[in-house]
Structure 1
Amino acid sequence: MKNLANIILLISLSVNTLFAQSDYKPTDKNIENREWFQDAKFGLFIHWGVYSILGDGEWVMNNQKIPVYQYEKLPSFFNPTQFDPAEWVSMVKKAGMKYITITSKHHDGFAMYDSKVSDYNIVDRTPYGKDVLKMLKDECDKQGIKLFFYHSQLDWHHPDYFPLGRTGQGFTGRPDNGNWNDYIDYMNTQLTELLTNYGEVGGIWFDGMWDKPNADWRLDETYSLIHKLQPGTLVGSNHHISPIPGEDFQMFERDLPGENTMGFNQTGTISELPLEMCETMNGSWGFNLQDKNYKSSKRLIQTMVKAAGYGANFLLNTGLMPNGKIQTENIDTLVVMGKWLDKYGETIYNTRRGPIKPQDWGATTVAKDGTVFIHLLEMKDENLLIPALPGKIKSATYWANGEKVKYKETDYGILLHIPKSKQDNVDTILRIKM
């Protein structure tokens, strides 16, 4: 039955392509921004909202079945007086990240900016009363970091998000009615605010379409609106299926492109669009007081390397605390990753997917001058057979010191000999000139 449900989901979602921007042709600015995006490789994902007060993740409203009238009390407790955008952006730069994607509105419907179409927002409903997205955008512009806005299409709060989808059932206390088209109008109005009041926006990162896969999302209208207001803004959607016309990059949630270990990605298709995978530092997106399952910096660096091997960006998430601070554990991890990129960033930034698909032993990336970087992440001994490279190898050296690598080209591939003394605990990098 689960497989049948997945098939139905795919069929239902594919119907939406009828409503997508089928005649969409990206502008020169959009193409330029896609190239920048592919060069950037590493970004910070920020989940932050009034849900952080409860310290139980961004799905707490649904998971704890909190009615709307009760959940609406949370904003009066939200006062992030320690929010320091300069500190945030400086840390992002030290971590080697090139952009930030932050939640403008999550599934709980609460806007983290000064929305005029609804007073259910951080300026009108909290004692803090300031537009954190505006403050962050100003600082990003000052320090040369691009800002993307995550925006949830799913909304457990808005009365016109009706009929309800897979989530938000049986507890919200909302009227059993609503006008779906009015909700889409509301969403598009909020998107218009984000695209007209905050300067140049790097991209819109959609999420939640999977909640109502058979709904008429009016994607053509929404995508056309975005590209009209800001032709260079990149559009992506976490709908877990193949890209829909009008989208500018393809994303994968908590999985490398083409993989589905988490059960989210319902297609193995990897498009020719720019790619991005997103991942958590522990097991939660939003701040979770009891989630101490932090991934090691080694694991996260190796995931970033494999993502780059697919040509994909690595969007690494932190769930902000209600006071506006980033958890110390997350900062420590980002510092380690930043130091690693200071040394080895040339093999990640500005590269494209390598000639050998990422495997258990590691990945390959290729620079724009054709140099191939072999990233050896896991070696059981001193010898490793990898698939052949296209063309003739001119030279093979260790990236760290330029010493020659011992290798032999065979009918079965390339046999590398990497002495234990040359192996790095995180990533042994070889530079191959073809």
Structure 2
Amino acid sequence: MTYIGFAQEVYEPTKENLENRQWFQDAKFGLFVHWGVYSVMGGGGNPGVAEWFMEQKKIPIAKYEKLPGFFNPINFDAAEWVQMVKNAGMKYITITSKHHDGFAMYDSDISDYNIVDTTPYGKDVLKMLAEECRKQGIKLFFYYSQLDWHHPDYYPRGRTGQGYTGRPESGNWNKYIEYMNAQLRELLTNYGEIGGIWFDGMWDKKDADWQHVKTYKMIHELQPGALIGSNHHVSPYPGEDFQMFEQDLPGENTAGFNKGPISQLPLEMCLTINGSWGFNLLDDNHKSPKELVHMLVKSAGRDANLLLNVGPMPNGEIQSEHKASLKAMGEWMNQNGETIYGTRKGIVAPEDWGVSTQKGKTLYIHVLDWDKEVLLINPFKEKVKSVTFYKDKVKVNHRLDKYGLLLEIPENRKDDVDTIIEVILK
């Protein structure tokens, strides 16, 4: 893709932006929230359908516009959500302000297709969430879909939203960009200081003129500390501040999306807690707390955050299964968070058995999957001062020689989730 005259080729992050990048890398763990009028359908009886309900069921706009009339999240409690996030050991929330269906989950002046104007609930959930996040010390990021199946000026059509929506086969692309930027301006000026903007959907028209110059410049001018990331599945563009990987650890591509190289920017992996982004009534593919902790640890061992997703129900509540999993993760982080928060990937590269994280001269070896009582880490060139089990500081029998660092991990010392060994380097 070519961007001629891309002004942000010379983008220089502000001091606030650089500080927030470091905060982001230290935070390690956040909550992703996919919530919209599509949650009313609960997947429509299809395990693989949620926030893509409109596209996957080919629902015309005239019919889809009836959904907001059924969306009434009377049990939404911003304070409860944010407290749940804190109890889980998470440091930030990224929530959908507008998904591909074009419906705004906030009080938008530029479009009445929003939660305040078209639902019986009639309240701005993002405003309530932003205020509660400030109160409880949690950063708030806004997901914003550049793709829009509803707006008539999203034209020419991309890979999706073709044929069934009822929109005229004409439109003004520049007008759509103006509309998008106007909504972003609302999010950046009406909700206080935010953590950043999490873009998605550019892959729908990867060769279109998305006019990043204008959009990114506006964001950084309105909020110099805000971080910009885009889920476009290629190398970051100038003006972006972090790189995300969808349903994959950096360097892996099991989902088929993540083909680009890993940049030097802060990294983030986003992951579903079951098999769906939005609420799906029949999706019982819930990942266990152990699996989730492993993904968090593996992310940290690759210098990435874990952004773990939940899809709230249409009544505004989080599924009980997901609340229980988040609570369990918080309990683990209470015991072991020192080996995750504020760390960077360690000098021991990720292996099938586990990963390492590091702060200065303190190296944490996370043994996640190893059935033997001796582990050889090779190569290992550093000299060591001490080697102990992190949990109780009991010494680990070890040997350091030309073959590497040999660790003895007796069966009775193994932890079912993560056997953490603390190595103090000389």
Q: 2:19 aligns with which of 19, 25, 32?
A: 32
The answer for unaligned runs of 5 or more in structure 1 is 1-13
Distance 1:81 1:16 in 2: 46
Q: CA deviation at 1:18?
A: 5.6
Q: Determine if the alignment matches structure 1 residue 137 to structure 2 residue 124.
A: no
- Please say if 1:264 is aligned against 2:257: yes
* 2-structure distance, mates of 1:422, 1:141: 42
* Deviation readout 1:201-255 (Å, 9 max, x if unpaired): 1010000000001100001111000000000000000000111110000110010
Matched, 1:345 2:337: yes
Q: Which residue of 2 aligns with 1:329?
A: 321
Report the CA distance between 1:382 and its aligned residue: 0.5
**Contact conserved, 1:55 with 1:287, CA < 8 A, in 2?**
yes
Task: State the match for 1:123 in structure 2.
Answer: 116
Amino acid at match of 1:380: D
Of residues 104-113 and 413-422 in structure 1, the stretch that sits farther from structure 2 once superposed is 413-422
Any conservation in 2 of the 1:20–1:223 contact (CA below 8 Å)? no
Tell me what 1:175 maps to: 168
Q: Secondary structure at the match of 1:21?
A: helix
State the match for 2:417 in structure 1: 426
Match of 2:394 in 1: 403
Among residues 58, 79, 89, which one is paired with 2:51 in the alignment? 58
User: Hey, what's the Cα distance between the residues in 2 that align with 1:390 and 1:38?
Assistant: 26
Count of aligned pairs: 419
Q: Who is 1:96 aligned against? A: 89
Unaligned runs of 5+ in 2: 44-49
Deviation at 1:21, TM superposition (A): 1.6
Q: Secondary structure at the match of 2:182?
A: helix
Q: Aligned AA for 1:94?
A: N
Q: Which moved more, 1:384-393 or 1:132-141?
A: 384-393
Cα distance, 1:256–1:190 mapped onto 2, change above 3 Å: same
- Residue 222 of structure 1 aligns to which amino acid in structure 2? T
Q: Which moved more, 1:145-154 or 1:383-392?
A: 383-392
Residues 1:205 and 2:192 aligned together: no
Quote the offset at 1:390 in angstroms.
Answer: 4.1
Identity %: 65
Q: Work out whether 1:417 is the aligned partner of 2:383.
A: no
Query: Deviations 1:299-321 (Å, cap 9, x if unpaired)?
Result: 11011001000111100000010
Contact persistence 2:381–2:404 (CA under 8 A): no
CA RMSD of aligned residues (A): 1.0
Match of 1:281 among 266, 273, 283: 273
Cα distance per residue 1:278-311 (max 9 Å; x no partner): 0001110000111101111101101100100011
Aligned to 1:313, the other structure's residue is in SS state strand
Residue-by-residue CA offset, 1:125-154 (whole Å, 9 max, x unaligned): 111110000000000000000000000000
Residue 387 of structure 1, CA deviation:
2.3
State the distance in 1 between where 2:36 and 2:178 align: 23
Shift of 1:407: 1.6
Match of 1:5 in 2: none
Q: TM-score of the superposition, structure 2-length normalised?
A: 0.97
Match runs of 1:232-271 below 5 Å? 232-267=225-260, 269-271=261-263
**Alignment match, 1:380:** 371
Q: 1:188 Cα shift?
A: 0.3
Residue of structure 1 equivalent to 2:46: none
Residue type of the partner of 2:387?
A: A
Find the aligned partners of 2:192 and 2:148 in 1 and give their Cα distance: 26
Q: Do residues 311 (structure 1) and 298 (structure 2) align?
A: no
Answering whether residue 67 of structure 2 is matched by residue 74 of structure 1, we say yes
Residue 10 of structure 2 corresponds to 23
CA contact (8 A) 1:364 1:375 kept: yes
Native 8 Å contact 1:16 1:217 kept in 2: no
